[in-house]
Structure 1
Amino acid sequence: MEAAEHARLNAYFGRIASHFAPAERPASLLITHLLPERPAFVRSVAEMTELRAVLPKPKSAHADAVRVVESGGYVCDKLSRELFADPERAVRYIEAKAAGLRVLLLDVGGYFAPSLRGLCERFSGSIIGVVEDTENGHRRYADLGELPCPVVSVARSPLKEPEDFLVGQSVVFSTEALMRSRGDILHGRTALVIGFGKLGSSIARLLHAKGIRVTVYDIDPVRRTQALSQGFAVVRALEAGLEDAGLVLCASGALSLRGEAFGRLRNGAYVATVTSSEDELELAGVNDVYERAHVGEHITRYLTTGHYFYLLNSGNAVNFLHGASVGPFIFLVQAEILAAAAALARGGLNPGMHELGSADRAVIAATWLDYFNR
């Protein structure tokens, strides 16, 4: 970013913070993709809360961004699913960071979900709530059933739709770039898109616009009808789609391919995902059966007797290889996260799933237009 762009971004977040800032600042823990533009967002979280730790997502932590954040006086801790999988370990961690305080958890992908009940019951302070950014995380919290605290999700916000569309573009760009690095192209292959949510539907439309034959699989019959209405072939069984696909794009926000499904892949098929391998792919058993070899930068060939396929970026989000940039539209979502944090800090929300109201979203959109629609 140029100096003028930094100044505009800081001014934008300053205006958002001044509008939504709560009267009392809670402590916070922030899980985030620590990409090059993200330090400005981290600083804004620290203005609205007492930021006790930043936990960068492991596959999207840029070294320069980490250095900038740490040089600002913020602690960056190592993040893993295991850290919050066990309630006792999770409680020990949060006690070490914010014992006795009101704590807000800012999440990307449902990391706190497995221990949330234990944290609310055993932590010496109080967990005032969670803000969740992704569809995958939204589902993890919703699947808990009766929640012990409020969870404000921005995953299904209309302000996130521009990001989803542009992430879809970046996924297709990165997938094609990696295939071309081996002398392969998209054309001539049927692409199977697993998951027809906002991101999967964006990917399917972009592939179709490039002249690629696209098949869709989704466990939700409503989404299958939506895909049919938009002109895509739809398979009722995943296995049928895999056997004909030269490219498989996993965008379900959950587990897309289990161990036995990999054996159904067409020889020479490429597999790419839009999130981390631990969320989309069940690779443990596959790694025991197939020999792996790096056949290109960020391309792994899986080979066993009579069968082989290629996995891009080790099964992690393929678009992060090329920056995963969605331009200033990401600042819409970040502003909604700040507004959601402020809503939790003010209190009054019952345990359960929540979203921001349309009035708050309108303020964010109007502010964004003032700064970035130039």
Structure 2
Amino acid sequence: MDSHVLTIAMNGVTGRMGYRQHLLRSILAIREEGGVQLSDGTRVLPEPVLVGRNERKLRELADRHSLNRWTTDLDEVLADESVSIYFDSQVTSARESAVLRAVKAGKHIYAEKPTATSLEGAVELARVARDAGVKTGVVQDKLFLPGLLKLKRLIDGGFFGRILSVRGEFGYWVYEGDWQPAQRPSWNYRAEDGGGIIVDMFPHWHYVLEALFGSVEAVTAKAVTHVDRRWDEQGKAYEATADDAAYGIFELAGGVIAQINSSWCVRVNRDELVEFQVDGTEGSAVAGLRECRVQHRAITPKPVWNPDIAVPEPFREQWQTVPDNAELDNGFKVQWEQFIRHVVEDAPFPHDFLSGARGVQLAEAGLLSSAEGRRVPITEIRI
């Protein structure tokens, strides 16, 4: 079968997410499978060029996976005409300037979110990329989780009737770093370095809500720093200046109300790290990362409030599990395949920089709502 090479500059792959999800489980996995198959039957084989600031880490990654190309010089790789796509998974504060340089070099762009540290910057990236005629994509991985794919199937099939509300719970306890190493980098907890759970998670919640339930029309949020003292990677104590928990109410088009709690200061008492409960007139569902359980109107039990007796049957056992009905691949990998098809054969790809800017807009609105203690309307972005 005919195939050709598509060279991708991957900046930030020495980080946890950039390495595990994007390089290892996406690009290298696609290569092992023989590339991305196009509509005409030919295949595209992605060829990564590793980019970063740490020469030792880049060399180790390249040697580990038998890769020939890596560099600490971003301008050099952007000037290389063989490079078609620039991917960015750096810290957020470094992303905007690097992406602008890549756009000016005529590269198609695929980036982690948020695309910029401000709405103004995110809109400018979308505008500059549009004017340059390059294709853009933003990682929106949660849409490709098995649990949410099953939830989307239920929505498309009319299972819920009229959807009334969405309740989301996300988070886990992130160690402070004193006697157990933290699972997240210390910059996540410093506002001056672009940290904060609203900046990190509200762009996720935006695309999930928009794609499944309707556009966000207003937000009311409360951002909190519950743990104000943490220890960094060198064991040095520092003041946590960014929010580590956020409690949000989102008003959606069509009257759906969504409530989502996000926290790095909560101990998990759920089946999965993130769960969404959707309630409608005809049925309800609870979707997590992988599983989805439902309860239809026709089989909804009749709970009776009686604090004097034990519940005869655990409530969770009254729900039915939605089957996979398909082989569901890694969500990051699936979206990479879609973006590559978008670049090579102009296949549809809705997750562009304008979509990413709307996520940044929601994060800014959430922070404003918390700071001023009020409901913040969401206006349409125009470029």
Under TM normalisation by the shorter chain, which class is it?
Answer: 0.3 to 0.5
TM-score by length of 2: 0.39
TM-score by length of 1: 0.40
